[in-house]
């Protein structure tokens, strides 16, 4: 299997409900049903902590870069600072203008980034790449 299993617990973080819907629809189209969402990095972090404490940890994070309260990059750095999340697949959604900051994200341990707007095929290919990277 070259892809995340269908029961993967996925967290989608974006301050725009329309983007969250778009990502969730893409994921559902690929067969995923176990999807949680958060409106910003702070909320996302709470969901991650909660998942760990109730024994159903998040297994894939798809986060927007530019959000109020806590940006995606900041969240990524916090996540990578926690031992049990060091290998948590983490994908950042970026806009074209943030492309130059991607180096920083790579250094911070991002699994993959997807530039918006993206096609369904690109989204799926990127997730396959992330799966392969984390399951060597």
**Which tokens in the block code for residue 54?**
């109730």
**pLDDT tier, 1 (very low <50, low <70, confident <90, very high otherwise):** low
Domain-located, residue 16: yes
Domain-located, residue 4: no
The total number of structural domains in the chain stands at: 1
Domain-located, residue 114: yes
pLDDT for 101: 82
Are 111 and 134 in contact by the 8 Å Cβ rule? The answer is yes
Domain-located, residue 3: no
Domain-located, residue 58: yes
Domain-located, residue 2: no
Helix (H, G, I), strand (E, B) or coil at 84: helix
Work out the number of other CB atoms within 10 angstroms of the CB of residue 133.
12
Domain-located, residue 5: no
Beta-bridge mates of residue 68: none
pTM flag (> 0.85): yes
Note the pLDDT tens digit of each residue in 23-54.
999 999 999 999 999 999 999 999 999 999 99
Q: Which whole-number Å values give the CA distances from 70 to 52, 60, 62, 65, in the listed order?
A: 20, 18, 14, 9
Residue 20: give its domain's CATH number.
3.40.50.2300
> Any alpha helices (H) in 32-97, and if so which ranges?
41-53, 72-80
Query: What range defines the domain where residue 80 resides?
Result: 10-134
Domain-located, residue 64: yes
């Amino acid at each position: 299997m070259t892809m995340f299993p269908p029961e993967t617990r996925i967290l989608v973080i974006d301050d725009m409900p329309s983007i969250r819907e778009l990502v969730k629809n893409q994921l559902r189209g690929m067969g995923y049903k176990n999807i949680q969402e958060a409106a910003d990095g702070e909320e996302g972090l709470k969901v991650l902590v909660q998942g760990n404490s109730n024994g159903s940890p998040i297994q894939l994070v798809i986060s927007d870069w530019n959000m109020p309260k806590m940006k995606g990059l900041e969240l990524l750095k916090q996540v990578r600072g926690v031992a049990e999340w060091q290998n948590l697949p983490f994908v950042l959604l970026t806009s074209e203008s943030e492309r130059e900051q991607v180096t920083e994200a790579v250094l911070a341990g991002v699994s993959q980034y997807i530039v918006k707007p993206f096609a369904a095929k690109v989204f799926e290919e990127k997730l396959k790449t992330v799966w392969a990277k984390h399951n060597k």
